[in-house]
Amino acid sequence: MHLLVTGGAGFIGSNFVLRVREVRPDWTVTVLDSMSYAANPASLAPVVGDGPGDVRLVVGSIADAAVVDPLVAEADVVVHFAAESHNDNSLDSPWPFVESNVVGTFTILEAVRRHGTRLHHISTDEVYGDLELDDAERFTEQTPVNPSSPYSATKAGADMLVRAWIRSFGIRATVSNCSNNYGPRQHVEKFIPRQITNILEGIRPKVYGSGLNVRDWIHVDDHNDAVIAILEQGRLGETYLIGADGERNNLEIVAMLLELTGRPADWFDHVDDRPGHDLRYAIDSSKLRAETDWRPRYDDIRAGLAATVDWYRANEAWWREAKVAAERTYARLGR
């Protein structure tokens, strides 16, 4: 089976490619990535090459039909991770989100329609908006979309395009909406790696607003194993929510990181809140668990965070340059 993995040089996509190499060594992979600021060539360096079985890296945009079309034509499956992914950036400058997430997904869909290639579209729980802290119900596949930020609005738009192409054009596609991922190779603009690298640099963690906002954390390998399960066992035309029952508020995550790194419990700062900041996400993944044999393997977030801290400690060369740029942006945004 030959996979076209879009966004394969980013956080989740690169972990997906590495995981596929490990657990499905007979699959071959082409990565299409624009190598934006969010991509890191070092993530894929160990597996990219010209030899048989090596991963092929094509640098180009998913919004460029001339690049996308021949790659989709030669693939058996497109696994579509590529997106602008950071909420704070989407509030600062929304257009790249419309271009990559909406126009890019449209371009993939048209190529898939032309060539009959199977598509798996990767999306987020943020398309459902947010929950109250005491809501009894979690997000399910039936929850109406209700996005809050330009990022989540463009992801919801992309999801709606995929659903329309399934219904109206009969493309062979599945969709998954996953909760917040953590693990190695995540860009340092994101919450957990920002705080880990802050601590490693002797800078106090920065918590937006009250810090009571809840995210439903899942290890990136558990997300990617769920994607593989959907590719192999999912029903065409269906949407699956992916989550590992990992709800924690931001203060709890910072407390764990401070404890793991031997810092005092009060060694962090509250900073200005994110405009429109979603309060809580929570996933009910019953459908995925009923229809596939997928189960999360990382059920201890403290252990998962400890391993993630170790990874950032051991891989400063991977994040150093991005850290300087990300903190320059945060300084401008006052966060």
Positions touching ligand TDX (CB under 6 A) are 85-87, 124, 126, 180, 190-191, 194, 206-208, 213, 215, 250, 274
Q: In whole angstroms, what is the distance from residue 56 CA to residue 69 CA?
A: 16
CB burial of 284-318 (b: ≥16 within 10 Å; e: otherwise) equals: bbebbbeebebebebeebeebbbebbebbeeeeeb
- Smallest distance from the beta carbon of 186 to ligand TDX, in angstroms? 8
**Residue with Cβ nearer ligand TDX (6 or 85):** 85
**Residue with Cβ nearer ligand TDX (91 or 260):** 91
- In the chain, which residue ranges form alpha helices assigned H by DSSP? 11-23, 41-44, 65-74, 87-92, 95-97, 104-115, 150-169, 191-200, 220-233, 250-260, 286-291, 301-314, 316-333
Under the binding rule (CB under 6 A), the answer on residue 224 touching ligand NAD is no
Q: What is the DSSP letter of 28?
A: E
Residue of 126, 130, 216, 327 marked active site: 126
126 in catalytic set: yes
Assigned token pair, 213: 């906002």
Identify the H or E element spanning 123. Answer: strand 118-124
Q: Which of residues 9-28 bind ligand NAD (CB under 6 A)?
A: 9-13
Q: Which of residues 251-270 bind ligand NAD (CB under 6 A)?
A: none
Under the binding rule (CB under 6 A), the answer on residue 61 touching ligand NAD is yes
Q: Which of 120, 155, 194, 280 binds ligand NAD (CB under 6 A)?
A: 155
Q: What is the DSSP letter of 143?
A: S
Task: Enumerate residues 6+ apart whose C-beta is below 8 A from 142.
Answer: none
299 in catalytic set: no
Q: Are 294 and 288 in contact (CB under 8 A)?
A: yes
Binding mask 109-148 for ligand NAD (x = CB under 6 A): -------------xxx------------------------
Residue of 33, 110, 125, 247 marked active site: 125
- CB under 6 A: which stretch of 56-64, 228-236, 250-258, 303-311 binds ligand NAD? 56-64
Describe the chain by its helix, strand, coil percentages, rounded to 5. 45, 15, 40
- Smallest distance from the beta carbon of 249 to ligand TDX, in angstroms? 8
Under the binding rule (CB under 6 A), the answer on residue 187 touching ligand NAD is yes
Q: In whole angstroms, what is the distance from residue 108 CA to residue 98 CA?
A: 14
Residues that bind ligand NAD (CB under 6 A): 6-7, 9-13, 32-36, 38-39, 61-63, 81-85, 100, 104, 122-124, 155, 178, 180-181, 187
Residues annotated as catalytic (active site), given as ranges: 125-126, 151
